[in-house]
Amino acid sequence: MALFHRSSMPAAAGLFLSLAALPCAVPAAAGEADGVKVHEGACSMSSAKGETLFAGDCVITRRPETRDVAGERCDYLRYEVLFPGVGLAVVQQGQDIVCPPRFQDRDAEFLAMDKRGQLVIATAEGALLRFDPGTADAEPAPVLPVLDDFLRGIEACSFTEDHQAFTRSLWAAFPITATDPDGLRSLSGAGGEILWPPGNPPPAQPLRSRKTGVVQQIDVPLRGTYLGLALVALRLETEIGTTAFRETYVFSAPHAEIERKFGASVRGARQQEPMPGDSPHALPEIAEDDPGRLMCEGEK
């Protein structure tokens, strides 16, 4: 039985939902043929009311494309901005004044460059996206720390001592009771006494905890790879006052790649019968949509 309803993972309605409905593209290699360039750069997303929904680093793919718009043949730069844990935003920047900017295959209100050199696009609903467009030259793929030893066994919901210490320190950083008001809290910098894995935390990416009713959620930015796949975030959830928990590992790869890599291990772990007297444990699951996510749900 699931300990959480899927609605317990709030996704900032509207804009988030439009991103989650899109397929998650697999980033191409930097400097690939046909003008495709990939880099990791700063990105942010704000709602129509001005609430910051995401601020951190995204994997950004840029490629030229040509399409017909209102009878005009337009040249575009197409940006695919993969927001960790959220989804894929597709922005098209027209290279001529008669070719309007587009967002998620619809005309957008405007697209401009801000003082920091980021592209800013406003959606028809009033939300704002900002992202680093990258340079004209091909860029090498970022070198990420290898977290294999730190995260060993997560596909079977078996956690190393270092990993357990890490998650305990995250919960300790955001003490919340059931009577506290709902809302979002941020923890900037290195997060105090948090026992980060090697090569972390990512620079300039705050930790965030959100309380919604009886559910607490902590979103943790990560940099690294696990068994060759790049990780971008960890989401922790609990029902306040209980031992129920869920850990979600967010990758910069689509569902199909996560299934190929971990599917057999996940199924094997789920088929194992607990031994008499075993303490409560968690079961692994692979999310059915994109971006690729590996989840552990159970009791502490």
What secondary structure does DSSP assign to 96-161, as a single string?
A: STTS--EETTEE-SEEEE-TTS-EEEE-TTS-EEEE----SS--PPPP--B-HHHHTTGGGT---H
Residue 215 burial (CB < 10 Å; 0-12/13-18/19+)? buried
Q: Token match 């709902």: residue?
A: 182
What was the pLDDT predicted at 6? 42
What was the pLDDT predicted at 139? 55
Rounded to an integer, the average pLDDT of 16-21 is: 47
With CA atoms as reference, report the closest residue to 119 among 43, 18, 47, 58: 43
Asked whether 92 and 112 are in contact (CB, 8 A), the reply is no
Asked whether 262 and 155 are in contact (CB, 8 A), the reply is yes
Rounded to an integer, the average pLDDT of 26-36 is: 47
Q: Does residue 7 register a pLDDT over 50? A: no
pLDDT tens for 93-119 read 887 666 788 898 888 888 888 888 899
Q: Does residue 8 register a pLDDT over 50? A: no
- The percentage of residues in the chain with a pLDDT greater than 90, rounded to a whole number, is 39
- Residue of higher predicted confidence among 72 and 89: 89
Amino acid at residue number 88: L
The whole-model pTM stands at 0.60
Give the rounded distance of the alpha carbon of 121 from its chain centre: 20
pLDDT tens for 178-207 read 899 998 888 754 455 899 999 998 876 778
Q: Does residue 284 register a pLDDT over 80? A: yes
Residues, the chain = 300
CA atoms within 13 A on the CB side of 287: 22
Give the rounded distance of the alpha carbon of 238 from its chain centre: 19
What was the pLDDT predicted at 32? 42
Strands 119-122 and 110-113 come out as antiparallel
- Residue of higher predicted confidence among 28 and 51: 51
Q: Picking from 106-115, 137-146, 283-292, which range would have the lowest pLDDT averaged per residue?
A: 137-146
pLDDT-based confidence at residue 234 (cuts at 50, 70, 90) = very high
pLDDT-based confidence at residue 216 (cuts at 50, 70, 90) = very high
What was the pLDDT predicted at 259? 94
With CA atoms as reference, report the closest residue to 238 among 211, 199, 262: 211
> Alpha helices, DSSP H only, in the chain?
15-20, 148-151, 161-173, 255-271
Q: Does residue 132 register a pLDDT over 70? A: yes
- Residue of higher predicted confidence among 110 and 69: 110
Could you give the 3-state DSSP secondary structure of residue 49? Answer: coil
pLDDT tens for 152-175 read 999 999 999 999 999 999 999 999
With CA atoms as reference, report the closest residue to 80 among 15, 19, 127, 25: 25
Instruction: Give backbone dihedrals phi and psi of 42, rounded to 5 degrees, phi first.
Output: -65, 145
pLDDT-based confidence at residue 142 (cuts at 50, 70, 90) = low
Cα distance between the two ends of the chain: 15
**Tokens (6 digits) for 229:** 């796949």
Q: Which long-range contacts (CB under 8 A, 24 or more apart) does 25-32 make?
A: 25/61, 25/80, 25/82, 25/88, 25/254, 26/253, 26/254, 26/257, 27/59, 27/61, 27/80, 27/82, 27/252, 28/61, 28/63, 29/141, 30/138, 30/139, 30/140, 30/141, 31/138, 31/139
